[in-house]
Structure 1
Amino acid sequence: MSAAPEFSRRFALAEIGTVPKHVAVAADGAECAALARRFGLASLDLLSAEADLTAVSGAIEARGAMSARLTQSCVATGQPLETRLDEPFRIRFEPPVTHVAEEEFELDADDCDAMEHDGQAIDLGEAVAQTLGLSIDLFPRAPNADEVLRAAGVLGEADASPFAKLKGLFGKE
């Protein structure tokens, strides 16, 4: 059995109809701290979202936007980097899958993300947390990261390429 989500905000399916229901969710301090640990952040100071929930063809669609304020460490220097994220989302909460489709299908860029619900409620908090996880820069770099690396003797891609070595042989810039 999986652990409970750090940031759970459940909305009953019975309370969501074809007329959009506007909702707002925000993580408290303990939830932000738990999510920061989950995603390897130095800190998560704010996580909130607003969405319109609508029943569509047997599923629930959430359209909205997530806002976050977080601090990560630069991968090169370790310096703290404060980041503000504002990400729109469109998530379709589907009933649990009872069978696996045998044929392949492709999604295009206009298709929304999909998550299963438990038949009773959707968890918008966990959906927002997953949206945050997908929005975080995996390799954040401070503005001076290249200079710090160069001073430490680490070559950048341009300096380490075969063409850079050839340039060095012929003394051309």
Structure 2
Amino acid sequence: MTMESEFSRIIDLRQINDELIVLEPTEAERRRLAGRFQLSEVNAMQATISLRREGDKVEAKGHLNASIVQLCAISGEDFPVTISEPIALRFIPFTGEHTPDEEIEITADDCDEIEYEGTTFDLGEAVAQSLALAIDPFAEGPNADKARAEHNLAGDTGSGAFAALAALKKG
């Protein structure tokens, strides 16, 4: 069973002509991406990608820009975030050389390789995954320090077990 991507842009290997592609999700796709990545909103997103074919491999290089709204990891309040990330991927044919439970060693270059079957691959899904990797799950909004102080999360070292240990060390 395959899961349908919230932002799918199928590219046919046979139609690649060393070209520049601009991908932008629709409003409905941005809403679905926000839900998938547990964001309050994806206000804007654009990826400009240059595709270069080398036989049955495709190099995709470009840039991703997005404007999102996410929750502060401390206060839980929404705050805007701007994402600007380079994209460097390589689509390679699926070889079937490893089994699902098999341990394989990968190099840094292997990390950005995406296998595909047949003659097509989903560039939109790869861009969506790039967005997911660019989101900081521990991002703090402008009211994080205020929330820390209000909820006594400031790491007060004047009391508690660590203060007791520090007092023992001094004595």
Query: Which range, TM-score by smaller chain?
Result: 0.7 to 0.9
The answer as to whether partners of 1:59 and 1:92 remain within 8 angstroms in 2 is yes
Structure 1 residues 92, 164: CA separation in 2 closer, same or farther (over 3 Å shift)?
farther
Provide the rounded CA distance (Å) in 2 between the counterparts of 1:160 and 1:135: 38
Q: What is the percent sequence identity of the aligned residues? A: 35
* Aligned equivalent of 1:15: 15
Amino acid at match of 1:127: A
Q: How far apart, CA to CA, are the structure 1 residues paired with 2:7 and 2:136?
A: 21
Could you tell me how far apart the structure 2 residues matched to 1:152 and 1:137 are?
23
Counterpart residue number, 2:53? 55
Code of the aligned partner of 2:59: E
Is the CA contact (8 Å cut-off) linking 1:7 and 1:27 kept in structure 2? yes
User: What's the CA shift for 1:77?
Assistant: 1.1
**2:8 is paired with a residue of what secondary structure?**
coil
2:35 & 2:123 partners in 1: Cα distance? 20
Asked if 1:83 is matched to 2:98, the reply is no
1:118-160 deviations in Å (ceiling 9; x for gaps) = 3221211101000000000111212331332222122438778
Kindly provide the CA deviation profile for residues 53-110 of structure 1, in whole angstroms up to 9, marking residues without a partner as x.
11125311100111111000112212211011111011111112322188844413x5
Q: State the SS of the aligned residue for 2:117.
A: coil
1:158 and 1:48 map into 2 onto residues whose CA distance is 45
| Pairing of 1:18-167 with structure 2 (within 5 A) | 20-100=18-98, 104-108=104-108, 113-156=112-155
Q: Letter of the 1:40 partner, please give it.
A: Q
Secondary structure at the counterpart of residue 87 of structure 2 = strand
Are residues 83 and 166 of structure 1, via their aligned partners in 2, closer, same or farther at CA, if it must alter by over 3 Å? same
Any unmatched runs of 5+ in structure 1? none
Preserved contact between residue 92 and residue 113 of structure 1 (Cα < 8 Å)? yes
**Does the 8 Å contact 1:26/1:48 carry over to 2?**
yes
Contact 2:79 2:142 survives alignment (8 Å)? no
Contact 1:13 1:120 in 2 (8 A): yes
CA-atom RMSD in angstroms: 2.6
Give 2:60's aligned amino acid.
Answer: A
Q: TM-score, normalised by structure 2?
A: 0.84
2:11–2:120 CA contact under 8 A, matched in 1: yes
Q: Is the 8 A contact 1:25 1:48 kept in 2?
A: yes
